[in-house]
Amino acid sequence: MRRWLPVRRRRSDPADDGLPLRPIARADRFGFGDLFTEATTDIGSRPARLVMTLAGTVLGTAALVATIGFSQTAAAQIARQFDAAAATQLVVSPAEAQTRDGGAVAAGTLPWDAVDRVTTLAGVESAALVTEVNTAGMTITSVPVNDPSAAAAAPPPLVAASAGLIDTVGGSIVTGRGFDVGHDARGDRVALVGSRAAEQLGVMRVDTQPSIFIDGLAYAVIGVFADVQQRGELLNAVVVPTGAARADFAVAAPEELQARIVVGAGPQLQRQAPIALVPDAPESLDVSAPAGRSELGQSVQSDITVVFVILGVIVLLAGGLGIANVTTLSVMERVGEIGLRRALGSTRRQIAAQFVLESIVIGLLGGLLGAAVGVFAILVVSAVQGWAPVADPLVAIGGVILGAVVGLLAGGIPARRASRIEPITALRASAT
């Protein structure tokens, strides 16, 4: 870097009278390269102190990057689990109307072919009709003859459903198989038993073709199911086809339609399903549908991130205080050097810039190491937990920049103190 200074030739030279100023060049005595060299030379002179100084910034930046990454990863996991369950379930039931005496009655009914109608809509993967059968006065046992001397036991709930219920609620068949459309259409007396109901009835295997007796009628148990993601009460129930329930227990109409939908299709299907099921009176049906996936992800992530970011900022502030303390100590130890440089012509601004740049470099190193540690922590924890890690590159870059900003702020006060040291005072102090 060169600076041009305006000068005039001597007045003794008559040829120069009236001539304009002409520039001459001279080299600066202290450029940015010299400033950077001076600022970084002392950083590595005390390795132990440098490590202790970097520790606060590294921990603060790592905590900030890691906690934001953990919050994003946790939000993604929660949203994924929600999507696998509640966000993929749609329930349609008849709306209730108030009677004059304050009671409630169904304002509409679901058609028996509701499954065929709703599965034609885009976004519906599977559906099933579900109706709870009134078992008042009924017995459900695994033996044909009841012992009158035995204590009466409450029968498990009885549910009438169409084929595909287990798949719709996210269950799995433990043993045997589920009933199909043919069983439903023919009204076959077959049954599926939930795992807890199977324990109650003593039916744990179906290869011996066991039967249960519902109000004296024999139903062949063809399967036992478990692990339902929705409607957990079905694990305590006995499920029979709607055709058999209509013939044997006078089921008049379905109670509700359960459907499994793709993520994000809830708002659309909430409008379309009533029209597809009851075109002439769609208002007679109530539809419970989940909100979109994006709304859930943003809500969960924002709630988790706020708490973790606050903790990370607190740790990062502690790292900034560490840089400030070490820089202040460095100023006190280098009073003689500062005085000598002032005596040789260094300005206050150059002295201040040296210590500010030194703090920025320390903060930048701490931010870089901290961001690397934070990203590594996200990857390790996600691998151990079996999660899909979510690490935004902008967060890591922001951590590095934030470390430099913390160093800049932390070095401000010590740099100002160093710039105010007078040369004579500093040299006298160093001489004593």
Return the domain boundaries, the chain. 34-80+296-431, 109-280
Question: The dihedral of CA 33, 35, 36, 42: what is its sign?
Answer: positive
Q: What is the pLDDT of residue 332?
A: 75
Instruction: Report the candidate in 301, 298, 308 with the shortest Cα–Cα distance to residue 62.
Output: 308
pLDDT category of residue 173 using cuts at 50, 70 and 90: very high
Residue of 106 and 383 predicted with greater confidence: 383
How far apart are alpha carbons 360 and 412 in whole angstroms?
10
- What percent of the chain lies above the pLDDT cut of 70? 75
How far apart are alpha carbons 174 and 190 in whole angstroms?
16
Q: What is the pLDDT of residue 153?
A: 65
Judge residue 37's burial from the number of C-beta atoms within 10 Å of its C-beta, 0-12 exposed, 13-18 middle, 19 or more buried: exposed
In Å, what is the CA distance from 196 to each residue of 89, 163, 227? 23, 21, 11
Angle of helix 293-333 relative to helix 47-84, nearest 10 degrees, comes to 170
**pLDDT tens-digit series, residues 193-229:** 999 999 989 888 888 889 999 988 999 999 999 988 8
Q: Strand, helix or coil at 46?
A: coil
**pLDDT tens-digit series, residues 313-337:** 776 677 677 777 777 777 777 777 7
- When the pLDDT of each residue in the chain is averaged and rounded to a whole number, the result is 79
- What percent of the chain lies above the pLDDT cut of 90? 29
Segment among 227-231, 289-293, 372-376 with least mean pLDDT: 289-293
The end-to-end CA distance of the chain, in Å, is 38
pLDDT category of residue 6 using cuts at 50, 70 and 90: very low
Can you tell me the mean pLDDT for 175-180?
93
Is residue 27's pLDDT more than 60? no
**pLDDT tens-digit series, residues 231-274:** 889 999 999 999 999 999 999 899 999 999 987 788 899 999 99
**pLDDT tens-digit series, residues 293-309:** 545 555 555 666 666 66
Segment among 280-284, 339-343, 411-415 with least mean pLDDT: 339-343
Q: What is the pLDDT of residue 17?
A: 52
Judge residue 255's burial from the number of C-beta atoms within 10 Å of its C-beta, 0-12 exposed, 13-18 middle, 19 or more buried: middle
